[in-house]
Amino acid sequence: MLFRSGGVQPPVNLYETSEGYVLTAELPGLRVEDIEITVERDRLTLRGERRIEHPADASVHRLERSGGAFRRTVQLPVEVDGEKVEATYRNGVLSVRIPKAPEHRPRRISVSGR
């Protein structure tokens, strides 16, 4: 995760398919219950908190893994169908499948011959 003022910002990738988009985010060390995803029209927002814990009596000699709360909003190219978004989280990587709204999906037009 990259540190920015205001907390940690997970790196994300966004891919487009004919049916929609796939967003992946690196979220190592988070639990599923620490992740919140919201979709509104053409925006997807990830929220969460990465906790860095150590024993209370420990002396910290190096602290390179940043922690804290984050909020990351990704602007999508078109409006999406928020009711059908699906997310999975495995091995520290969140994968979100985001279908395009029906009016933004390509339609196949049949051609008739005479």
* Of 81 and 22, more confident: 22
Query: Length of the chain in residues, anyone?
Result: 114
The pair of three-digit structure tokens given for residue 24, joined into one six-digit string: 């992946």
pTM over 0.75: yes
Please state, as a whole number, how many other Cβ atoms lie within 10 Å of the Cβ of residue 21: 20
Provide the pLDDT confidence category of residue 105 given band limits of 50, 70 and 90. low
Residue 2 has a pLDDT of: 42
How far is residue 74's CA from residue 33's CA, in Å, rounded to a whole number?
Answer: 21
Task: Encode pLDDT of 56-86 as tens digits.
Answer: 888 888 877 778 899 999 999 988 888 899 9
Residue 4 has a pLDDT of: 43
* Of 5 and 34, more confident: 34
Does the pLDDT value for residue 3 go beyond 70? no
Cβ contacts of residue 109 below 8 Å, gap of 6+?
none
How far is residue 7's CA from residue 45's CA, in Å, rounded to a whole number?
Answer: 15
